[in-house]
Amino acid sequence: MDKVKFFDRLLRFIRRKSANTKAQLHDPETEKNLSEDFDENLEWLRTIYADCSDVVFHDFFIGERTRAVLVYIDGLSNTEEISQYVLTPLQHDFSGEHTLANIRQKITASSIKPVKTAADVIDEISNGNPVLLVEREKTALVIGLAKWDKRAIEEPTAESVLRGPREGFIESLPTNTALLRRKLRSPKLKIKSMNIGTRSRTPVAVAYIDGIAAPSLVEEVMSRLKRIKIDGVFGSTYIEELIEDNPISPFPQLVSTERPDVAGAYLLEGHVVIMVDGTPNVLIAPGTFFSMLQSPEDYYERYVASSAIRWLRFLFFAISLLGPSIYVAVITFHQEMIPTPLLLTMARSREQVPFPALVEALLMETMFEALREAGARLPKQIGSAVSIVGALVIGQAAIAAGIVSAPMVMVVAITGIASFMIPRFTFGMAIRMLRFPMMFLSGFLGFLGVILGVILILNHLLTLRSFGVPYLSPLAPMKGRELEDVFWRAPRWMMNTRPRLTGEWNPHRQIPGQRPGPTKGDEGG
């Protein structure tokens, strides 16, 4: 009976805690409708925006008879157009009855819409749109005159290409959707919007191509976004951590990009793009293992060079994960695998080192990661110089002091170069984290530990899914027709079908038989 009472009390405590949390995120002030009493609406708005010096309440008379107030935020609204298109026609050029319909006709702004709830009024004011309240009207007018400073469209520094476009997403959601529309000029491109965050009210847009993206995938993405209850969203990572399938996995399950061309290419393959206002990084769902190893440059160079670079990338991916652990295993347990002259050279270089190979590797890898992080946090002008010079100086000094051996410095340097070959930074971070447990396994068990670690990683990858899509797709489960863009990049005239993700499928992306040659095309003239 005591146990029953204890669990009953615990259950009631959890329910009470959950109710209190929901109550804190719930704001009853914003759920009421506007009143016909002008003074009541005005007093409510002034109470809401008390101590907000940037919120402007412009009181005036429409045609010198009807009271009105224009509410907007200074810095988010276009004050010049407000004076030209709203205040001047209503104050000086107004004639006729002072009805809401006549007022709408007098305002010459391109976008005007009525709102009736307090929540809509607050949302529109926060978005930079001025809101007009009129006496004896329980409907307010939202005028689309939002304007704020924003960054110019530039090439993403983390995803630069040689032959591709030089534009990237910025922190403005309308600009980002426009960039996406420029890439895909089709009405089939659908964009659904919502606001996430009880305090930030961050606009979030979900883009997909109707007829290509599976309806089940779109519904799943929308349902996961709608169930998010949080006070603020200030980046796409907030969304990513709340909608991914396996939150404890080190591997990212959504692709992140700043390039509109990459987002458009994924949309044509049936993926869904999630754009968040305030960040240039958009999310692409679902994400797979092989999509993390694909670079935009692969599709702007000829397929022969792209395939060769992709094979090189796979090789250095393996080196980035297993390089130090294989060195530690060979030096510690399997010296017979090293040729005798090389073994004697390595033994001479290690004769002054007092630490085992595992301690060497851990010491140098930790120092290299610290230098990498320090270089990323320093100003751009000196960050790269500090990283390179610091690594050279510390490596040479460590060899001279007899703390580490020269082969270990070479292995760490090659591993660092290999980690930079991975196109997606978040995926590279996962590989860098897994490198350390792999070194521990190799230091204790040799090659047996390396094999066990690889088996554990593969087992995790085989069980991992992203929005219902297997993470190792199309390799596991095997889809032979889709392997043309995995280990090699097929020529454009061979990529006739799209990858199949979930649910319904639109397989054909182009007509077959487009291989170029001297006998193709017009031979006349």
**What would the pLDDT profile of 53-82 be if each residue is shown by its tens digit?**
899 999 988 877 788 999 999 988 988 888
> Is 480 within a domain?
no
Name which of 48-62, 196-210, 274-288, 342-356 the model is least confident about.
342-356
75 Rama class: left (phi>0) / alpha (psi -120 to 50) / beta:
left
Whether residue 359 sits in one domain with residue 279: no
Whether residue 446 sits in one domain with residue 408: yes
**Sorting pLDDT into bands at 50, 70 and 90, what band is 444?**
very high
d(CA 503, CA 53): 52
Question: Structure tokens of 233?
Answer: 């969203």
Q: What are residue 274's phi and psi, to 5 degrees? A: -110, 120
Whether residue 96 sits in one domain with residue 213: no
> Is 5 within a domain?
no
Q: Return the pLDDT at 525.
A: 39
Name which of 7-16, 26-35, 434-443, 481-490 the model is least confident about.
7-16
**Sorting pLDDT into bands at 50, 70 and 90, what band is 521?**
low
Whether residue 368 sits in one domain with residue 258: no
Whether residue 171 sits in one domain with residue 121: no
Whether residue 361 sits in one domain with residue 432: yes
**Sorting pLDDT into bands at 50, 70 and 90, what band is 23?**
very low
> Is 496 within a domain?
no
Q: Return the pLDDT at 266.
A: 93
d(CA 365, CA 332): 18
Question: Structure tokens of 131?
Answer: 């809101």
Q: Return the pLDDT at 386.
A: 67
**What would the pLDDT profile of 270-307 be if each residue is shown by its tens digit?**
999 999 999 999 999 999 999 999 999 899 989 999 99
Name which of 206-210, 378-382, 408-412, 512-516 the model is least confident about.
378-382
> Is 518 within a domain?
no
Range(s) of the domain holding residue 163: 157-287
Q: Return the pLDDT at 256.
A: 94
Q: Return the pLDDT at 499.
A: 80
Whether residue 282 sits in one domain with residue 326: no
Highest-scoring range by mean pLDDT, 53-67, 152-166, 314-328? 314-328
Residue 409, SS3 per DSSP? helix
435, 364 contact by CB (below 8 A): no
Could you give the percent of the chain with pLDDT greater than 70? 89
Q: What are residue 437's phi and psi, to 5 degrees? A: -60, -30
Query: Based on the structure, what is the number of domains in the chain?
Result: 3
Residue type at 218 in one-letter notation: V
Name which of 16-25, 209-218, 270-279, 451-460 the model is least confident about.
16-25
Question: Does position 243 have pLDDT exceeding 50, yes or no?
Answer: yes
Whether residue 406 sits in one domain with residue 306: yes
Among the candidates 90, 117, 143, a domain finishes at 143
Among the candidates 470, 501, 518, a domain finishes at 470
Tell me the mean pLDDT in the region 500-515: 75
pTM of this structure: 0.86
Question: Does position 436 have pLDDT exceeding 60, yes or no?
Answer: yes
Q: Which residue, chain included where needed, has tokens 């009525």?
A: 114
Q: What SS3 string covers 11-74? A: HHHHHHHHHHHHHHHCCHHHCCECCCCHHHHHHHHHHHCCCCCCEEEEEEEECCCEEEEEEEEE
Whether residue 165 sits in one domain with residue 82: no
Tell me the mean pLDDT in the region 118-129: 88
Tell me the mean pLDDT in the region 349-367: 87
